Structure 1
Amino acid sequence: VNVFLKMTACIKRPWLIDSRVCPLEKALPAADGYSFPSGHTAGAMSCWGAAAYWWWNNKIVRYTMITFVLLVAFSRNYVGVHTPQDVIVSMLIGICLMFGIDRLLKWIDAKDGRDLIFYSVLLVMTALLCIYLHLKCCMQLETYDSLKDLVNPLEMKHGVYGKIGFLLGIFTGWLLEKRFVKFEITKGINTKKIISLLSGIIVLYILMMVLNKVFILFMAKHIAAAIIAFLTAFYITFLYPCLLKILKN
């Protein structure tokens, strides 16, 4: 959703529109794309907001997660890389995604076979999105001026393929986990869960470092970005739960 809106709206960063905006210099390297909407804010709302929703009865977790979301949203304005409109709309997008996915998963679980229907629709939509964004990048590349334009269409292309790969990895892993692993997440926090989480994060970090060094050597950058993102997401949604279940048994 975020990538589609960015590439469709093509809204420039605040300091390029209004000279009175002075962005924090350290924040500029990561602000090389379009402004609307804020990916950080939408991601924070979808992730930390979902955590708050899941552990709603735990006040400490709930308010901590909500605080994280608000801090991320505030920081995007504070460092000058987004407008208030970017952030507000992004929070709404995150909320819609959070509750929309929750409803969707409940609909899928209500009847056998709906997961395959959803996955098939997702593949078609992803293919169409990939074609659209690829053509959009090619069109922008024709008028791109490296001296005037902040957004490099080639870099955006790499980012687009990476996000599409991550999306496919998430739901491919989810489908396989749902059908073959059936890992159950229990509510509550304990030492064992924290250790398992930290171990998984460390393995993921090592995996990403290795994949980045290997794939970049043998294939185009945007293809490598897609494959690395796919494998990363696949590890999170399938391989890691599978490993935890094996160790548990």
Structure 2
Amino acid sequence: MMDIQYLLFLQNIRFATDGVFNSFFSFVTTLGEWTFILLLMAGIYWCIDKKSGAFMGLCCGTASMINQFLKITFCVYRPWIRSADIEPIDGAKTTATGYSFPSGHSASASSAYGSLAYCYQKYRGIMWALIINVLMVMFSRNFLGVHTPQDVVVGCIVGSSIVLIMGWVFRKCGEFEKFDLILTGVILSLGILLIIYAMTKSYPVDYVDGKLLVDPMKMIKDTYADIGIAVGAALGWLIERRCIQFEVKGAWPVRILRYLIGAALIVFWQKAVASILTQAMGIHLGILVSNLLLMLLIYT
């Protein structure tokens, strides 16, 4: 239970400092959330460096899909369920739903900022700033009381491993004519297999005071959501690479305007279109299609 003792140590620091750091680490943890990462990825892809933005999206989508596979496989409960002494800060539980291991924020942050660090490794200052950002997101999940150390470490390993694997694939296969078709096919196949696995496996169904600790249907929904992002990123990258081949160009005012319009569309999609699709198609298929189409919109 050393992991719980560590969280209690951080919790005592929160209490002793009267929560002075709570707002800061609540902000830091948002850097590992999908809305922020999507907006950052879109900005890089549309306005700065198309290749880096595409690589970031592929890494993030694949890492989230693999991380979700591990979540629904191990089905580890959150720290405050394991120990009643753990008290996450107010509001932290809203983004800490489902199972605990591995940390989705850590996987997303390490794949997002890790992929950028990989792309810009020759700029040492930028690379280390991105790495520190990943570490800060990981620590924030511990400080807020919503993840154990092993949750964030394994989440980081998942995200970082995907970055290294993708980097190797791009280096080795970049000159191979059909490597984009093969990579997209692999990601699509993994998504189909994960859907079958998520829909057929058994989940623990435990109650405390008449309340279900983790709803399996919620975990299946999250699985469909991650698959939609991963497959949408792969298909969007393939379509753009084969059919569109746009170039990042134009004066900076034009690029900024392009980004602001696109960012507003992303937020609108997540707030409104996603809800319409889930109501029309059902919560699982709707969230998959919504995320897939959103990624296609960003890439193409």
Please indicate the TM-score interval, normalised by the length of the shorter structure: 0.7 to 0.9
* 2:108 is the counterpart of 1:40: no
Question: Which residue identity is paired with 1:4?
Answer: F
* 2:274 is the counterpart of 1:222: no
Instruction: Give the alignment's TM-score, normalised by structure 2.
Output: 0.70
Question: Which residue identity is paired with 1:78?
Answer: F
Distance 2:279 2:194 in 1: 27
Distance 1:235 1:171 in 2: 12
Q: Tell me if the contact between 1:144 and 1:152 (Cα under 8 Å) persists in the aligned partners.
A: no
Counterpart in 2 of 1:176? 239
Superposed counterparts of 1:23-172, under 5 Å: 23-136=88-201, 139-140=202-203, 143=205, 145=207, 147-172=210-235
CA distance change for structure 1 residues 185 and 105 in 2, over 3 Å: closer, same or farther? farther
C-alpha RMSD of matched pairs (Å):
2.4
Deviation at 1:5, TM superposition (A): 0.2
Question: Which residue identity is paired with 1:179?
Answer: R
Distance 2:134 2:174 in 1: 29
Distance 2:155 2:248 in 1: 28
Q: Deviations over 1:148-196 (max 9, x none)?
A: 532111111211111111111110111111111234569xxx6665554
Question: Which residue identity is paired with 1:203?
Answer: L
Q: Tell me if the contact between 1:9 and 1:36 (Cα under 8 Å) persists in the aligned partners.
A: yes
* 2:69 is the counterpart of 1:4: yes
CA distance change for structure 1 residues 79 and 162 in 2, over 3 Å: closer, same or farther? same
CA distance change for structure 1 residues 217 and 92 in 2, over 3 Å: closer, same or farther? closer
Distance 2:206 2:247 in 1: 49
Instruction: Give the alignment's TM-score, normalised by structure 1.
Output: 0.83
Counterpart in 2 of 1:232? 294
Deviation at 1:60, TM superposition (A): 4.7
Helix, strand or coil at the partner of 2:203? helix
Q: Tell me if the contact between 1:140 and 1:153 (Cα under 8 Å) persists in the aligned partners.
A: yes
Identity of aligned residues (%): 33
Q: Deviations over 1:43-101 (max 9, x none)?
A: 00111122222223335533432232122111100011100111111112111111111
Helix, strand or coil at the partner of 1:224? helix
Helix, strand or coil at the partner of 2:76? coil
Counterpart in 2 of 1:243? none
* Structure 2 segments unaligned to the other structure (5+ residues): 1-65
Q: Tell me if the contact between 1:32 and 1:150 (Cα under 8 Å) persists in the aligned partners.
A: no
Distance 1:184 1:95 in 2: 28
Helix, strand or coil at the partner of 1:140? coil
Distance 1:56 1:10 in 2: 36
Distance 1:40 1:207 in 2: 21
Which segment is superposed worse, 223-232 or 148-157?
148-157
Deviation at 1:214, TM superposition (A): 2.2
Distance 1:30 1:55 in 2: 30
Aligned residues: 233
Which segment is superposed worse, 20-29 or 161-170?
20-29
